[in-house]
Amino acid sequence: MRGRGFIFGVGTSSYQIEGAVNEDGRLPSVWDTFCATPGKVARGETGAMACDHYHRWEADLDLLAALGVDAYRFSIAWPRVMDEKGRPNARGIDFYKRLTDGLAERGIRAFVTLYHWDLPQWMEDRGGWLNRETAWRFADYADLMSRELAGRVTSWATHNEPWCAAYLGYGNGHHAPGHNVARWGTQAMHHLLLGHGLALPALRANDPHAQMGLVANLGPGYPGRDVHEDVDAARLYETYQNRWVLDPLLKGEYPADLFRLWKGTEPVVLPGDMETVAAPMDFLGINYYSRAVVSSTGADSFEWVRDPAVERTTMDWEVYPQGLQDLLEALRRDYPNLPPIYITENGMSSDDHVQDGVVDDLQRQSYLKRHFAACTRAMARGVDVRGYFIWSLMDNFEWAWGYERRFGIVHVDYETQRRTPKRSALAYAAFLRDRSL
């Protein structure tokens, strides 16, 4: 991972850090609405202020420069740049122009995600991702932003984690917009993937020197017991978690056994849709946090097996670096047309506090070292990984968990907005300084 061509970075997303939800023409998003709904977000917290990045972006870019990262992955807030009639909002667009220009001035590459879940509320009022029209409006949005930022962006990702947007947003209601209908989850996924495919031609036409791809959250499944039923359950888990997204993108079809899990939830797919979805990508972004150990609970169903003795994060996710290597090698084996990979998110939440001006996040430092090593092993075995982004640059609004889960390598005091680099950030900066030695 020390080669000159390998990219090291950090990531954030718009709703989690920007704040300024009512400024400069930004319209409401589904997350503004969700946060305002009692009982949806812990302690009733919202992203209205978040990390106030909209006003503090220059200082935050200086933080990036001090770390020495090659690239910064961030997302654009769709409600900030386009109104309900499809007209551009120049004040919102100018923010992202200032941001990308500021990155360029500091020698940092821009890795832009178009959709990190903050759907305009006016789109949700028309059906959101259940409405096929949203896929076309997403392509319009991609066209607008790739014209406005052409030449400023190294990499465009259409969606971040469509699994979360579809399943958590429409299938089980844990995320905005908060629907809880299994078939709505599969239909929303189809329209998200269709929007991805429809956006690619505009991105390529407007910014031909940039890379185009999509970011998926993936995790390997392991059988709880060495029996056929649990091996099948692990396979079924990977269908639900991984192949639901990857098979349409890389094979042009949904995995048949997906509908063993959710019988009768097949989405409406029109002629030509799957060819659009499966358009070639320049890269695949992978967000990896943990694995799943599962056991069969009968035909076509499974449950998670929890070992209380294993190391976990404050998200209650198992720390399992070997899972990243296993995942990467399985993808290389299962998808002959797999594009180059970026690890677009990897990190952990912990209960971090500033003591005497220091945040000594020992577990995170160990977590990152072990996951770097797992990625290195996969690369040594032939997996084409081009870059690695830590999640996240700084503590932020962690969706339905509000502000209690801290993923950042920079601590944020939400009362004062003071940023304090944690020991993990200092270690990352030292590693990046030393890689040329």
Are the C-beta atoms of residues 305 and 224 closer than 8 Å to each other?
Answer: yes
Are the C-beta atoms of residues 14 and 116 closer than 8 Å to each other?
Answer: yes
State both tokens at 419. Answer: 């940023």
Measured in whole angstroms, the distance separating CA 241 from the mean position of its chain's CA atoms is 14
The CA R_g of the chain, rounded to the nearest whole Å, is: 21
Are the C-beta atoms of residues 66 and 428 closer than 8 Å to each other?
Answer: no
* Whole-number Å distance between alpha carbons of 209 and 5: 17
Measured in whole angstroms, the distance separating CA 97 from the mean position of its chain's CA atoms is 22
User: Which uninterrupted H or E stretch holds 103?
Assistant: helix 90-105
Are the C-beta atoms of residues 235 and 301 closer than 8 Å to each other?
Answer: no
Nearest alpha carbon to residue 422 among 367, 363, 360, 345: 360
* Whole-number Å distance between alpha carbons of 256 and 253: 9
Are the C-beta atoms of residues 274 and 313 closer than 8 Å to each other?
Answer: no
Out of 345, 398, 404, 415, the active site residue is 345
Task: Supply the DSSP string of 345-393, one letter for each residue.
Answer: EE---B----BTTB---HHHHHHHHHHHHHHHHHHHTT--EEEEEEE-S
| Residue corresponding to tokens 């392991």 | 222
User: Which uninterrupted H or E stretch holds 269?
Assistant: none
Assess whether 398 carries a catalytic annotation.
Answer: no
CA torsion sign for 153, 139, 30, 182 is: negative
CB atoms within 10 A of CB 232: 18
Which residues are bridge partners to 115 per DSSP? 159
Are the C-beta atoms of residues 404 and 398 closer than 8 Å to each other?
Answer: yes
CA distances for 176 relative to 40, 191, 236, 287, 345, angstroms: 9, 16, 26, 20, 21
| Residue corresponding to tokens 């940023």 | 419
Query: What's the one-letter identity of residue 419?
Result: R
Catalytic positions, written as ranges: 345
